[in-house]
């Protein structure tokens, strides 16, 4: 069944989409899109360290993302700069350092475009096992943390009063995002990972009647974008990673037209989580 490269690409892409959907909902609710970009950009530094130290790629990408997340939390506590300024510094610095390190490693042959924009058609069976195994772990963790995640998203003060520890929840959420980016990097690439997190969730928000419904719908919309993008890439001979993002964008635009023909009011469930 998985001997054909296109079939493997479909299975891997759908696995990433199903994982990214619920995670992307919290990115949208918490207005953390820029944070997602920062973690994604730091992945290239992880790639460079993997090549330099001859360590497993997933381990180094996750480790760098973890360090960047912890560094961001530490700097935010000092309150010397605004959050968006800190994110901008960390994001572009990590990306630039990664590019410079790769340029210095002249003894290593690396397909930089594949890391930046993905190479989903080259996924192997072991990649699929990693994506689905890691994805199921992330989904199980989100299900376990669902109540504290939603509560701290609505109000950190209320979550603190209920003993849900929003600071610890935020750190665990960052770890889950770092892991998702590490396992999804080969699918749509470093530069496009955040799009697969945000666009399906933003599309699902227009139709959902509650947080749980939005999470499920975001996964389904992401999977549909993967299928549409891959078949579009096959038909028009376009890059697969960007084609998936374009397909997600088309679904979002169609949702705008769909809602324009309605009453103009949001579903009631969208008001249950911070907008």
Q: What percent of the chain has pLDDT over 70?
A: 93
Confidence of residue 162 (pLDDT cuts 50, 70, 90): confident
Cβ–Cβ < 8 Å for 149, 168:
no
In angstroms, how far is the first alpha carbon of the chain from the final one?
43
Residue 12 has pLDDT above 70, yes or no: yes
Residues 6+ apart with CB under 8 A from 78: none
Write out the two tokens for 5: 């490269």
Q: What pLDDT does residue 34 have?
A: 82
DSSP label of 121? G
Domain ranges of the chain: 5-272
Is residue 119 within 8 A of residue 190, CB to CB? The reply is: no
Q: Using an 8 Å Cβ cutoff, are 241 and 120 in contact?
A: yes
Mean pLDDT for the stretch of residues 165-186: 86
For 83-133, write each residue's pLDDT tens digit.
788 888 888 898 899 989 988 888 887 888 888 888 898 899 999 999 999
pLDDT tens string 45-85: 999 999 888 888 888 988 898 888 888 878 777 767 777 88
Of residues 272 and 251, more confidently modeled: 251
Q: Indicate left, alpha or beta for 118 from its phi (over 0: left) and psi (-120 to 50: alpha).
A: left
Q: Is 154 exposed, middle or buried (0-12, 13-18, 19+ CB in 10 A)?
A: middle
pLDDT reading at 265 higher than 60? no
More confident residue, 268 or 7: 7
Q: Other CB atoms closer than 10 Å to residue 156's CB: what's the count?
A: 15
Split at pLDDT 50, 70, 90, the class of 263 is low
pLDDT bucket at 261, cuts 50 / 70 / 90: low
**Chain-wide mean pLDDT for the chain?**
86
Q: What is the pLDDT of residue 1?
A: 52
DSSP state of 60: H
**What confidence score (pLDDT) does residue 268 get?**
44
Class of domain 5-272: mainly alpha
* pLDDT at residue 143 tops 90: yes
Q: How confident is the model at residue 274 (pLDDT cuts 50, 70, 90)?
A: low
Higher pLDDT, 153 or 13: 13
Residues 6+ apart with CB under 8 A from 269: 208, 209, 210, 211, 213, 214
pLDDT number for residue 62: 87
CB 216 within 8 A of CB 265: no
Q: Tell me how crowded residue 51 is: count the other CB atoms within 10 A of its CB.
A: 18
167-194 mean pLDDT: 86
Instruction: Give per-residue pLDDT as tens, 187-242.
Output: 888 888 889 999 999 999 988 889 999 999 999 999 999 999 999 999 999 999 89
Using pLDDT thresholds of 50, 70 and 90, give the confidence band for residue 271. very low
Identify the pLDDT of residue 253.
95
136 has pLDDT over 70: yes
């Amino acid at each position: 069944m998985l001997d054909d490269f296109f079939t493997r690409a479909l299975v891997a892409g759908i696995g990433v989409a199903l994982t990214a959907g619920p995670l992307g909902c919290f990115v949208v609710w918490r207005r953390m899109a820029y944070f997602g970009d920062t973690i994604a950009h730091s992945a290239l530094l992880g790639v460079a360290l993997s090549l330099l130290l001859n360590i497993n790629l997933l381990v180094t990408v996750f480790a760098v993302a973890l360090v960047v997340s912890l560094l961001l939390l530490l700097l935010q506590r000092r309150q010397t700069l605004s959050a968006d300024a800190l994110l901008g510094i960390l994001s572009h610095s990590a990306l630039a350092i990664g590019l410079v390190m790769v340029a210095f490693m002249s003894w290593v042959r690396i397909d930089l475009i594949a890391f930046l924009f993905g190479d989903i058609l080259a996924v192997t069976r072991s990649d699929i096992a990693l994506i689905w195994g890691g994805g199921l772990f992330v989904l199980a963790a989100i299900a376990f943390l669902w109540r504290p995640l939603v509560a701290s998203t609505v109000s950190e003060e209320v979550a603190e009063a209920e003993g849900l520890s929003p600071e610890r929840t935020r750190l665990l959420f960052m770890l889950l995002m770092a892991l998702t980016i590490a396992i999804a990097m080969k699918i749509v690439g470093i530069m496009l990972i955040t799009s697969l997190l945000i666009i399906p969730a933003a599309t699902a928000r227009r139709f959902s009647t509650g947080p749980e419904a939005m999470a499920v719908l975001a996964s389904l919309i992401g999977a549909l974008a993967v299928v549409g993008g891959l078949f579009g890439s096959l038909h028009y001979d376009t890059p697969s990673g960007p084609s998936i993002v374009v397909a997600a964008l088309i679904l979002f635009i169609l949702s705008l037209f769909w809602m324009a023909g309605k009453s103009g009011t949001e579903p009631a469930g969208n008001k249950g989580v911070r907008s």
